[in-house]
Amino acid sequence: MNVTPPPMPMAAALPLEVGETWRRLHPLSPIVRFGRVLIGVLGVAVASIAEQPGLRHDKGLPISLIVYVGLLVLGGIGGVISWLVTRWRIADGNLQIETGFIRRQSLRIPLARIQAVDVISPLLGRFLGLAEVRVVSAGRGAEHGRLAYLTAAQAPVVRARLLALAHGLEVGTPEPVALPLLHIQNGLLLPALLMRSHVLTPILIAIAAVAAIAAAPVIAPGVLGSVVTILVVSGLGVARAFNEDFDFAISEAGDGVRLDRGLLQRRHETIPYGRIQAVRVLEPLFWRAFGWARLEVDVARQSVSREADRDAQQVARTLIPVATRDQALWLLARVMPDAHPNPPPDAGPPARARLKAPLSFHFLAAWFGQRYVYARTGRVQVSTIIVPLVKVQSVRYKSGPLQRALHIATVDIDTAGRRWQGSARCRDEQEAIEMVHHISERARLSRRLPPPIPAGPAPLPAPAPG
C-alpha cells in the first residue's frame, strides 16, 4: 500500500519572487548575529564599572565607559554596514550571496551540489522572529551559504525553493508534506546521555572519590577540586548535548529526511535522499543493557577551517540521538532500504587477528550485500558503519608488517563523507583480496543502476514501543 499524501496548497504562500531580484537580509540581522558579543561586552562593561565605584564620582565619564560605548557604536556601525552590503538571490541554478564592504565577496552555490539545507533559529532570533537558512554544499573550496537572517515565515519557503531546485523541480513546487516518523522523549534522552560511558565514568570516579574522602578526610583538599572540575566538565557536556537534541523529532518528506531539535536554538535540518554517504549505528556500552542505539549520518562536505563553518560542522547529523535498537533499525531501513546491520555468522575476522586487535576483536566484523558494505568495530562502544556501494569512491587494501606476518589485511572503503570511512579491519588475506574485487565490481555496477532511494513517504509501520 503506497499512500501519496496530497500536495500541500502552499503555492499561494510563496511571497518571494525568484527571478533576478536581489534581496537584503532582515534589518535586525546584525542584532542577532552579534547578540552574543553584545551581551558579553555589556556584561564585562557592567562588571568592570561596578568594580570601580570611585570613578563614578569623578568629573566627566570614566574612560572605561567611553571605551565600551565606543566599542558598541563601532560594532553597531559595522553590523549595519555588513547588512547594507549583503544581498542574495536565487538565479541561474545558483544561490548567490554577495557580501563584504572592503573586500567584496561573491558566493555562487550551485543548487545541484547542495548536500543539506538547515533552518536554524537561535534563542535571540526566536524572540525577534528570525531564522537562518544554511546550505551545506559539496566540493573542494566551496563554502557554506548562510542566509542570516530571514523572517521565520520566509525561511521555510526559501528552504523549499532551494530543495526543489536542487532536485531539479519546478520553481514554484511547494514543499512536500512531512510525515512524522519518530519523536524522542526528553525523559529518554537525558538518562541515555548520562549513560554514555564518557559521562558515566567521571560520575563513577566522583563517587569513588567521595567514598575515599569519607574514609580518609585528609586527602579532601587535594581531591575535591579535581573531582568538582571533572563533574562540571562532564555536566556541561551533557547539558550541551541535551540542549542540542531536546525535543527531537524526525519526519520524512518526499525530498528527504527532516530533523527538528534543540532547546534554546531550534534546528530544522533536511537531509536530501541520495546525499547520505554513510550511516553509523552506535551502541555504547551501557546502552546495550537497555537495547538502545544511536544513528548518525555522514554527508559530503569540505574540510572545515573557519570558525563559522565549524559551527556548521556541529550539526553532527544525528539521525536519532537515542532510540530502541528496533526503532533505530526501522529508521535505518527508511533512509537505506534493505540495510541489515546484523552480521552474518562468518563476518568475523580469523582468530589469529586477535593478536593484532586484542581489544576490538570481539566486535570486529565486515560483510557486504548487493547494495551496502558493513563494517563493525569497537572496544567499549560498538559502531557499525554502513556505506552504500553507490557512494564508494575508492577501495584500498592495506597491510602492515604485523598484519602481513599474520596473513591478514585491512580493506578501506572511502566515501566523500568527511567523518568516517568504512574499514574492514583484519580480514584474512585471501578474503581481503576478494573483498577488493567484489566491492569495486559491485560499486561499479551499482553506479549504473537507478538510485534505490524511495520516492516518497510510505505508510508507517508501527515502530516497536520504546
Partner 1 sequence: MTTAVTRQIIGAGELKRLSPRFWLARQTELAIFWGPVFIATLVIALVVHVSAAVLLPVVVALIAGVAWFVERGRYRAWGYAEREDDLIVTRGLLFRHVSVVPYGRMQFIDVTAGPIDRAFGLATVQLHTAAAATDARIPGLTRPEADALRDRLALVGEAKATGL
- Positive/negative CA dihedral, 27, 29, 34, 38: positive
Smallest distance from partner 1 to CB 444, Å: 5
Smallest distance from partner 1 to CB 383, Å: 17
Smallest distance from partner 1 to CB 440, Å: 5
For partner 1, the closer CB: 23 or 418: 418
CA 19 – CA 7 distance, rounded (Å) = 24
For partner 1, the closer CB: 32 or 271: 271
Cβ atoms within 10 A of the Cβ of 164, count? Answer: 19
Binding mask 396-415 for partner 1 (x = CB under 8 A): xxxxxx--x----x--x-xx
For partner 1, the closer CB: 126 or 438: 438
- Cα–Cα nearest to 396, from 435, 448, 452, 449: 435
For partner 1, the closer CB: 150 or 413: 413
Residue 279 binds partner 1 (CB under 8 A): no
- Enter the C-alpha cell of residue 85: 552590503
For partner 1, the closer CB: 219 or 402: 402
Secondary element (H or E) of residue 244: helix 220-245
Smallest distance from partner 1 to CB 268, Å: 23
CA 385 – CA 372 distance, rounded (Å) = 10
Strand partners, 386: 279, 374
- Cα–Cα nearest to 408, from 350, 466, 460: 350
Residue 305 binds partner 1 (CB under 8 A): no
Task: Choose the stretch contacting partner 1; rule: CB under 8 A; options: 173-181, 226-234, 280-288, 391-399.
Answer: 391-399
* Angle, helices 186-194/220-245, rounded to nearest 10 degrees: 140
Footprint of partner 1 on 132-171 (CB under 8 A): 138, 140
Among 391, 425, 427, 442, binds partner 1 (CB under 8 A): 391
Among 71, 110, 393, 453, binds partner 1 (CB under 8 A): 393
Residue 443 binds partner 1 (CB under 8 A): yes
Count of residues of this chain found to bind partner 1 when the rule CB under 8 A is applied: 34
Smallest distance from partner 1 to CB 441, Å: 9
- Enter the C-alpha cell of residue 197: 560511558
Smallest distance from partner 1 to CB 274, Å: 9
Residues 6+ apart with CB under 8 A from 337: 371, 452, 453, 454
- Is the distance from CB of 379 to CB of 364 less than 8 angstroms? no
For partner 1, the closer CB: 324 or 415: 415
Residue 425 binds partner 1 (CB under 8 A): no
Terminal C-alpha separation, the chain = 25
CA 419 – CA 271 distance, rounded (Å) = 16
Smallest distance from partner 1 to CB 88, Å: 25
Smallest distance from partner 1 to CB 355, Å: 17
Smallest distance from partner 1 to CB 178, Å: 24
Smallest distance from partner 1 to CB 120, Å: 24
Residue 335 binds partner 1 (CB under 8 A): no
- Enter the C-alpha cell of residue 53: 565605584
Among 98, 260, 311, 429, binds partner 1 (CB under 8 A): 429
For partner 1, the closer CB: 25 or 435: 435
Q: What angle do CA 153, 261, 289 make, to 5 degrees?
A: 165
Among 130, 181, 259, 300, binds partner 1 (CB under 8 A): 300
Residue 178 binds partner 1 (CB under 8 A): no
Place of cell 544513528: 295
- Cα–Cα nearest to 318, from 309, 310, 328: 328
Q: What is the CA radius of gyration of the chain?
A: 26
Residue 352 binds partner 1 (CB under 8 A): no
- Is the distance from CB of 54 to CB of 8 less than 8 angstroms? no
Task: Choose the stretch contacting partner 1; rule: CB under 8 A; options: 97-105, 355-363, 439-447, 455-463.
Answer: 439-447
- Is the distance from CB of 287 to CB of 151 less than 8 angstroms? no
- Enter the C-alpha cell of residue 202: 567521571
CA 110 – CA 230 distance, rounded (Å) = 46
Residue 324 binds partner 1 (CB under 8 A): no
For partner 1, the closer CB: 281 or 443: 443
Phi first, then psi: give them for residue 254, nearest 5 degrees. -60, -25
Residue ranges that bind partner 1, judged by CB under 8 A: 113, 138, 140, 275, 277, 300, 303, 391, 393-401, 404, 409, 412, 414-418, 421, 429, 433, 436-437, 440, 443-444, 447
